[in-house]
Structure 1
Amino acid sequence: MTILVVTGTGTEIGKTIVTAAVAAACRDRRVAVLKPAQTGLAPGEPGDAAEVVRLAGSQVTAVELARFPEPLAPETAARRAGLTPVRPYEIAEAAQKLATEHDLVLVEGAGGLLVRYDGQGATLADAARLMSAPVLVVAPAGLGTLNATALTTEALRTRGLTCLGVVVGSMPAEPDLASRCNVDDLPVVAGAPLLGAVPAGAGALAPADFRERARSWLAPELGGNRQVG
């Protein structure tokens, strides 16, 4: 696995922190993170790719293809700003170029799997298909996550894409009943293994602590040492 696409069941559920955790867990390899479209930030502000580098370490290569100022879906944000949208082939070409110089390229999407990137309705799933890359799904811990995860993984399967597994993006320190049950139920509804759970607030850790602990959150498939399932 050289290219891994990281998507989520929605937005603000921990995709960037999970991406950083995978990068940190694989820090003995040459890792790059690719953010195809960053929305909601002005020029010069640190985006998601920069946050991965801050947490995982400066040895990680960060690439951002496009930035749009309003916090909207990439296609909407590009259209409203009068800017050229990002096309799936551009994402694939950038990832494949990084893959020639890195052992692992993490492609972090915006929002969920089927968020539109251009006026033709292209999505992160289209880019994943062009790259023949597996997809890691980041899901929230609590009530409602089973349906959203099932829908996301079903969309992957109908497109002939491989779901590598699911990671809980923000596991509460004191999970409620739904969150505890979902740890067992997520792999069932996803039809793919649960590959880890990143604790809530992990992004606020000092970077050195984050790197030290990252492997304990993730299964071996993601460079970690956590036994899941």
Structure 2
Amino acid sequence: MTILVVTGTDTGVGKTVATAALAHRAAASGSVAVVKPVQTGVGPGSGEVADAEVVHRLTGCAVHELTVLDEPLAPDTAARLRGVRIPPVAEYADRVRVLAESHDTVVVEGSGGVLVRLDTEGGTILDLAAEVGAEVVVVVSAALGTLNHSELTVAALRARGIEPAGLVIGSWPGEPGLAETCNLDDLPRVTGVPLIASIPAGAGALGRDEFVAAAPGWFSPAG
């Protein structure tokens, strides 16, 4: 039984597509469930597609969306704005553990970065990962600025005694520039964490058959 938490250096770095790729890879060797503890920004008229829906469309894996909030804000901010109660991280951890009893792998997609608050009591995806003893994969950008964001995220994880299992570039451009090309070497060098996958930009727009056929090739042989 494996619990894998997918976090990122920021919002919009490609966590959802990376989650789908990681879930598909895990499905090759056993049963998989994907959990999205908190989804924000999918209220009436938003036009946004929920992350859980994207992962299911790309992979066919069972996806469990636990809390949904209308505004495209950090979960605790969105909850306070509406004056609603959302579950504390401990409740999400219990749900993940229950799923882990009946699946070989549970993949948990966080919201935003590692210190974004998932509840109104200050609980974060970092707290959730620590509570369930998860492996953690960090999704990073390829662009200029990623080294600082990546090092900060890795440092926050290590401060809690969690050694990241790997980095994933969430959106590799079709025409990389100098910064992106250098970052391929610099990301693992400055963080001390292996780069296990690089996902091409636009992968989330693929159909399921195309996605599952291509996804294995995005991972490094050692990843």
Same fold (TM > 0.5): yes
Pairwise mapping of residues 67-78 of structure 1 onto structure 2 (< 5 A)? 67-78=68-79
Give the match for residue 25 of structure 2. 25
Cα distance in 1 between the residues matched to 2:164 and 2:87: 23
Structure 2 unaligned blocks of 5 or more: none
Cα distance in 2 between the residues matched to 1:196 and 1:175: 16
1:124 to partner: Cα distance: 0.6
Cα distance in 2 between the residues matched to 1:184 and 1:201: 23
Give the match for residue 174 of structure 1. 175
For normalisation by structure 1, the TM-score amounts to: 0.92
Pairwise mapping of residues 148-187 of structure 1 onto structure 2 (< 5 A)? 148-187=149-188
- Cα deviation, 1:50-100, whole Å, max 9, x if unaligned, reads 21010012xx11101100000000000111122212311112111111111
Structure 1 unaligned blocks of 5 or more: 220-225
Pairwise mapping of residues 25-174 of structure 1 onto structure 2 (< 5 A)? 25-28=25-28, 29-42=30-43, 46-57=49-60, 60-174=61-175
**Percent of aligned pairs with the same amino acid:** 51
Cα distance in 1 between the residues matched to 2:64 and 2:207: 23
Conserved 8 A contact 1:39-1:69: yes
Give the match for residue 8 of structure 1. 8
Question: Where does structure 1 differ by over 6 angstroms across 4 or more consecutive aligned residues?
Answer: none
Cα distance in 2 between the residues matched to 1:206 and 1:125: 32
1:227 to partner: Cα distance: 5.2
SS at the partner of 2:27? coil
Conserved 8 A contact 1:171-1:197: yes
Cα distance in 2 between the residues matched to 1:213 and 1:91: 32
Q: Which letter maps to 1:165?
A: G
Q: Which letter maps to 1:41?
A: V
1:43 to partner: Cα distance: 6.9
SS at the partner of 2:131? helix
Conserved 8 A contact 1:37-1:86: no
Conserved 8 A contact 1:143-1:179: yes
1:27 to partner: Cα distance: 2.7
Conserved 8 A contact 2:40-2:69: yes
SS at the partner of 1:12? coil
SS at the partner of 2:165? strand
Q: How many residues align?
A: 220
Q: Which letter maps to 1:21?
A: A
RMSD: 1.6
Q: Which letter maps to 2:104?
A: D
